[in-house]
């Protein structure tokens, strides 16, 4: 009986401690959360500059004169200059000023809110609430390069592919390894363009530049020069198509975390090619189709019965798909709802961009 009492008190203390921690978390204001962390969209980062710093990187700090404002400054691995000025209006932070190239997808007037766990910043249109972007917490500035490399590996490369001869290539999710290449070691490193990790795969014997387009990937043998990476003459390109087993999810991370635009576009196979009209247009169409597939995979996981024959037959090939519901609105988690909104917005942006190429 004493043992039971001790166990009960032990578990009660853990519960009370967690409740206390949750209470402390709730008591922290949104302003404190925004100013406490470094935030990133997976490409650039921003951090709060306190009012006592009247100028940073040559840019005057508006918060020095008006402490109600928040001034976020940062940049990419290549250069600085990114800045956002936020003003609190009716309990929400609104973008009132930004650098010319800073967060080009987020217009002045967008509002910043936090998700329920306060791990992500959600950027929305002030008038209609449309989601424009997601920012994630960055532990420190030095974590940006590893994060970008991880994103390339997980969202841009990982999976099983076959070439035109049926040979298999497998890119690991957990480490920089790819099996199937004629190399003595499967390990590769990412090359960089303008100090930023890129789809340049440096193996021991050969270097490839990966050009993605939806479920397709083209690997071009390249050589490094002072100006960048250029194709090797006389070397054949490798054309790969991603293959899935019937019980495999194509996009497993969609239900695990809120993804940035960069992560979603890498997942969709955003093209890293020149803007030649036909090639670019074809790649964009692949990307848009992948964005649709990503959104519909979330629905399919919850057993949604697709009215569209094409999508119904597409998911019927997956062993995990069990069509049992016509409405799965209330089954979606906050993460899934956010990713669906974000995918819809990116699809709209891509379709508008595609129209400009016609």
| pLDDT tens-place values along the chain, 358 residues long | 545 454 444 444 444 344 333 333 334 688 999 999 999 999 999 999 998 888 887 788 888 889 889 999 888 998 887 888 999 888 889 998 877 555 555 788 899 999 988 899 999 998 899 999 999 999 998 999 999 999 999 999 999 999 999 999 999 999 999 999 988 899 999 999 999 999 999 999 999 999 887 788 999 999 998 888 999 999 999 999 999 999 999 999 999 999 999 999 999 887 444 444 455 666 788 889 999 999 999 999 999 999 999 999 999 999 999 999 999 999 999 999 999 999 999 999 889 887 776 6
Task: For residues 157 and 100, state if they share a domain.
Answer: no
145 falls within a domain:
yes
Task: For residues 55 and 96, state if they share a domain.
Answer: yes
Task: For residues 121 and 232, state if they share a domain.
Answer: no
Number of domains in the chain: 3
**Burial (CB count <10 Å: 0-12, 13-18, 19+), residue 91:** exposed
Task: For residues 169 and 192, state if they share a domain.
Answer: yes
Q: Which residues contact 245 (CB under 8 A, 6 or more apart)?
A: none
**Burial (CB count <10 Å: 0-12, 13-18, 19+), residue 52:** exposed
Query: What pLDDT was estimated at residue 158?
Result: 93
Give the DSSP per-residue string, 314-357. Answer: HHHTSTT----BS--GGG--HHHHHHHHHHHHHHHHHHHHHHHT
Last residue within a domain, chosen from 82, 107, 138? 138
192 falls within a domain:
yes
3-state helix, strand, coil in the chain (%, to 5): 35, 30, 35
Q: Would residue 325 be called left, alpha or beta, if left means φ above 0 and alpha means ψ between -120 and 50 degrees?
A: beta
Task: For residues 167 and 54, state if they share a domain.
Answer: no
Q: Are 315 and 306 in contact (CB under 8 A)?
A: yes
Give the CATH number of the domain where residue 339 resides. 1.20.58
User: What is the DSSP code (8-state) at residue 307?
Assistant: S
Task: For residues 123 and 202, state if they share a domain.
Answer: no
248 falls within a domain:
no
Task: For residues 127 and 168, state if they share a domain.
Answer: no
- For residue 171, the enclosing domain spans 140-243
211 falls within a domain:
yes
Last residue within a domain, chosen from 224, 243, 262? 243
Last residue within a domain, chosen from 116, 138, 160? 138
69 falls within a domain:
yes
Task: For residues 154 and 84, state if they share a domain.
Answer: no
Q: Would residue 331 be called left, alpha or beta, if left means φ above 0 and alpha means ψ between -120 and 50 degrees?
A: alpha
Cα separation, 240 vs 216, in Å, equals 6
Residue tagged 């402490």 (tokens)? 67
Task: For residues 23 and 132, state if they share a domain.
Answer: yes
Task: For residues 30 and 134, state if they share a domain.
Answer: yes
154 falls within a domain:
yes
Task: For residues 110 and 148, state if they share a domain.
Answer: no
Task: For residues 20 and 106, state if they share a domain.
Answer: yes
Q: Are 81 and 102 in contact (CB under 8 A)?
A: yes
351 falls within a domain:
yes
């Amino acid at each position: 009986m004493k043992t039971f009492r001790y166990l009960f008190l032990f578990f009660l203390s853990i519960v009370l401690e967690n409740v206390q921690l949750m209470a402390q978390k709730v008591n922290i204001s949104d302003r404190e959360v925004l100013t406490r962390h470094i935030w990133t969209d997976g490409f650039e980062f921003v951090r709060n500059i306190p009012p006592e710093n009247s100028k940073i990187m040559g840019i005057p700090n508006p918060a020095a004169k008006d402490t109600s404002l928040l001034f976020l400054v940062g940049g990419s691995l290549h250069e600085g200059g990114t800045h956002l000025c936020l003003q609190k209006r009716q309990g929400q932070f609104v973008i009132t000023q930004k650098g010319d190239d800073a967060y080009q997808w987020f217009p002045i007037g967008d509002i910043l809110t936090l998700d329920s766990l306060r791990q992500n910043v959600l950027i929305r249109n002030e008038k209609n609430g449309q989601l424009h972007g997601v920012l994630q917490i960055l532990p420190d500035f030095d974590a940006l390069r590893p994060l970008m490399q991880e994103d390339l590996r997980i969202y841009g490369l990982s999976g099983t592919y076959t070439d035109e001869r049926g040979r298999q290539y497998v890119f690991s999710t957990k480490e920089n390894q790819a099996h199937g290449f004629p190399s003595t070691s499967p390990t590769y490193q990412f090359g960089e363009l303008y100090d930023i990790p890129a789809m340049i795969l440096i193996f021991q014997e050969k270097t490839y530049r990966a050009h993605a387009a939806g479920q397709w990937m083209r690997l071009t043998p390249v050589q490094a020069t002072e100006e960048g990476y250029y194709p090797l003459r006389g070397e054949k390109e490798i054309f790969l198509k991603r293959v899935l087993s019937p019980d495999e999810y194509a996009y497993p991370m969609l239900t695990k975390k809120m993804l940035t635009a960069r992560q979603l576009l890498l997942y969709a196979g955003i093209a890293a090619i020149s803007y030649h009209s036909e090639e670019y247009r074809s790649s964009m169409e692949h990307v848009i189709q992948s964005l649709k597939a990503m959104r519909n995979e979330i629905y399919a996981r919850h057993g949604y019965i697709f009215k569209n024959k094409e999508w119904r037959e597409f998911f019927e090939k997956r062993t995990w798909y069990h069509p049992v519901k016509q409405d799965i609105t209330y089954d979606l988690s906050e993460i899934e709802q956010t990713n669906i909104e974000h995918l819809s917005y990116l699809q709209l942006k891509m379709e508008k961009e595609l129209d400009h190429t016609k």
